[in-house]
Structure 1
Amino acid sequence: MPKSSNIAYIRVSTIEQNTDRQTFPNVEIDKVFEEKASASNIKRPVLDECINYLREGDILHIHSLDRVCRSGAGDAVKLVEHLSSKGVGIQFHKEGMSFYGSMTAAQKGVLSILASVAEMERGLIKERQAEGIAAAKAKGKHMGRPSIKVSKEQIEELLAQGLNVKAVAEQLKIGTSTVYKIKANK
């Protein structure tokens, strides 16, 4: 029988987010599958790749339930049942839950409740975010990036004075990519 492995699945919602908080203390991880996909996204190719990679005796480490719930609380139960049928253990570190083999009725119930709470928490965050945006707009606040008016002439003048792209960007409070874009459109 091949050596069992500790496999980790890590997911963040956006490209800008990092995975630093999703750690597995005291566990030597053999392979990590990392995905950047929104919680609402049903298609998770890296999770699918991870599940296909797992072999009997392996243990899948996941930081928390909300990392794998896609479209409801049943996702976590289905995942655990599927992996258990393959002889794969699964650990949800934040919740302190481990599954090896068939789930008992109590385990299934607790897992369903915790996954439902995670789903509800995600929904509450979205509601509060929408309320905050609506309140800010009602007060006339601009949402999104601030609009900065910079002319091609301003950039060309600063470059002609001998400033480099980074210095021009800092002085005009814009990104270096904006300076390059405007510079390229001469």
Structure 2
Amino acid sequence: MSRIGYARVSTIDQNLDRQLELLSNCDKIFTDKASGKNLERAGLQKMLDYIREGDIVVVTELKRLGRNNKELTETMYLIQSKNATLEVLNLPVLTGIEDDNLRRLLNNLIIELYKYQAEEERQSILTTQRQGIELAKKRGVYQGKQLEYSETARDPKKRFIYKEIVRMLEEEVSISEIAKRTGTNRSLIYRIKKRIEY
């Protein structure tokens, strides 16, 4: 059984020293200077490849593993899939437990709590969003999602492509030819055609 440390800061300018000091009793430490928004971090991937059954992954705080509940849950599952467990130094409940079964039980419990919290947050966001849309509709100010290709598209290149597609449709150029000339796909052109015919 080895204690494997993992430390992360979000940017190159930030310092890992505090975390490395707290992880100094680990047998090996992996580090990243990268955002926690996804799992595509070199140090994290090396750590996940390195850990073996019975190892304990040690982090100073849960947020070092991921920025949001989805990433945290995924990373904790990956650690669990190697039959390793997690120790979080600022969560006393996961510190200093020698019993492997108890550690696994607590890890499973934390994963389930995070999944529940993530689902609750998602439902709350969707409810708030629906309420906001309903209020905007009542006031007559709801415009829906901004179209990527339209006369008012934010991207000037996409605005230009839209105008070219409309011009060629009006000139009755074939869909295949329009797609070829504009570097877009046929389904986009069909959608624009449907919109301008409507």
Name which one, 1 or 2, has greater alpha-carbon Rg: 2
Q: Which of 1 and 2 has higher RCO (CA within 8 Å, sep 6+)?
A: 1
